[in-house]
Amino acid sequence: MINGDAWIHRLYQEDAEAAARDNRRGRVEAVQWELVERLLAIGVNVILDWGVWLQAERAHFRERAQELGATVQTVFVDAPIETLHERIADRNRDLPPGTFHISPAELDEWAALFEPPTADELS
């Protein structure tokens, strides 16, 4: 599984929370994608655990993976915003290593930006 937060935590331990929210995330994910391309090219299954919130982002990565011969599956678990707030509050009380505090305001901001997958993306 390719997860940006875990790499950010390892690479930027002294400033990991800030790194998770600035341009270092983009650099980490670019390196991760290079690794993904190499793995897909040799037939290894990969799970991207990234916040690909926009349909255009998902289409971009899906097309690039398919060009490498990969079969792509999008998995989407839908939950009401209230449930997400409860889960984030629980997680924030006892943050697992390699994860970052998410405020209720951040969650609301990000939820407003999210574009749910279309039926075509999930088929």
Q: Where exactly are the structural domains of the chain?
A: 2-122
> What letter would DSSP give residue 15?
G
Average pLDDT over residues 30-52: 93
pLDDT of residue 120: 92
**Which residues lie closer than 8 Å to 61 by C-beta, 6 or more apart?**
33, 48, 52
Phi-psi region of 57 (alpha: psi -120 to 50; beta: other; left: phi over 0): alpha
Q: Highest-confidence range of 3-12, 24-33, 110-119, by mean pLDDT?
A: 110-119
pLDDT in tens, 56-92: 999 999 999 999 999 999 999 999 999 999 999 999 9
Q: Using the predicted structure, report yes or no on whether residue 30 has a pLDDT greater than 70.
A: yes
Q: pTM of the entire structure?
A: 0.79
> Which contacts of 63-69 are long-range, i.e. CB under 8 A and separated by 24 or more positions?
64/33, 64/37, 65/36, 65/40, 68/37, 68/40, 68/41, 69/40, 69/41, 69/43
**Which residues lie closer than 8 Å to 10 by C-beta, 6 or more apart?**
98
